[in-house]
Amino acid sequence: MNVLELGALIDAALSSAGIDVSEMTEDRALQLSARRYVRCVLRGQMSAREFAGWAHSSIGHEGPDWAQELVELDDDYDAFDGGWGHEPDWAQTLERFLLASEGVADGWEPPAR
């Protein structure tokens, strides 16, 4: 995926949440996109596996520290799908991320429904 495609996906995710991206850093945009997608998973609108794949391809292992547990979730799914390892505890991982990233949403996210 190239940078332009990634930017369009991030903008689309944030715009779908009613967030203005005109003065946002890339890191903040990724965090808010991740928060949006995590909420979709928790509401059953997206699978945890699909979200983990997004995190791995959009953020990656070279990405910021705050995202590494999300990226590694995709690796855990790969291992589980490959027949070794245990099924990832995605709910706990996503809840930890939401709690840890609460402050980054201030002023950018509409209230949770």
What average pLDDT is seen over the chain?
Answer: 83
Residues 104, 5: Cα–Cα separation, whole Å: 24
Percent of the chain with pLDDT over 90: 49
Domain count, the chain: 1
Does residue 28 lie in a domain region?
yes
In terms of DSSP H, where are the helices of the chain?
Answer: 3-16, 26-42, 48-58, 68-81, 90-100
Residues 46, 61: Cα–Cα separation, whole Å: 22
Closest alpha carbon to 30 in 4, 11, 48, 3 = 11
Closest alpha carbon to 31 in 91, 92, 90, 102 = 102
pTM: 0.74
Instruction: List the domain range (segments joined by +) for residue 76.
Output: 3-105
Does residue 45 lie in a domain region?
yes
Q: Across 17-31, 48-62, 95-109, which has the greatest mean pLDDT?
A: 48-62
Does residue 39 lie in a domain region?
yes
